Amino acid sequence: MADTLVAAGYLQIGLDHFALPHDELALAHRTGRLRRNSLGYSAETRQTVIGFGASAIGRCREGYVQNELTQSFYNRPIASGHLATSRGYRLTIEDRVRAAIIEQLMCYLEADVPAICTAHGFDPIHLRSSAKQLDILAEDGIVDVDDGLIRVRQECRFALRGVAAAFDAFLGRPSL
């Protein structure tokens, strides 16, 4: 399917999106403005996203919030003039670094880990567990790692979620 779309003139964006060369996503990709969130890829660079509706997730610089999961629990506070937020999470510096690395991998199939850590004032030593997983991915020929620059091999983009998972500190943890 991907080959068919590429042959028709579409560009492959990130893991599983396609855009014509003049489309907004393709332009965002070329200019380094491509973003990824829970809904997919976007050219939107705002840091604040407000989620409306049951189970919607909102984002701000400080973290994430999620609305009540079911329509009935969502409707009650809204009807009385209150927010329907059921939970939130305040991001730590490490969370922000990990999110930036994952987003770069998901958007561009590469991430400069030292540059991202420097931009956040974060010591990369805290990412040791990720380095161990990356070593395995490199041995398997999925990624190339050179001085902290991680590149997913084009032919292995199908494994991109697995590469990003190396930086997901919450993967496998029970939810709150």
Please state the domain extents for the chain. 2-41, 57-90, 93-165
41-63 tens-digit pLDDT: 988 877 888 888 999 998 888 99
103 vs 112: CA distance, rounded Å: 11
- Give the number of residues written for the chain: 176
pTM: 0.86
Q: What is the pLDDT of residues 98-124, one digit of tens each?
A: 999 999 999 999 999 999 999 999 999
Encoded tokens for 111: 């991430």
Please tell us whether the domain made up of 93-165 is placed in CATH 3.50.50.60: no
| 143 contacts 151 by C-beta, under 8 angstroms | yes
- Looking at residue 107, its pLDDT comes to 95
Strand order across the 57-60 sheet:
57-60, 63-67, 85-90
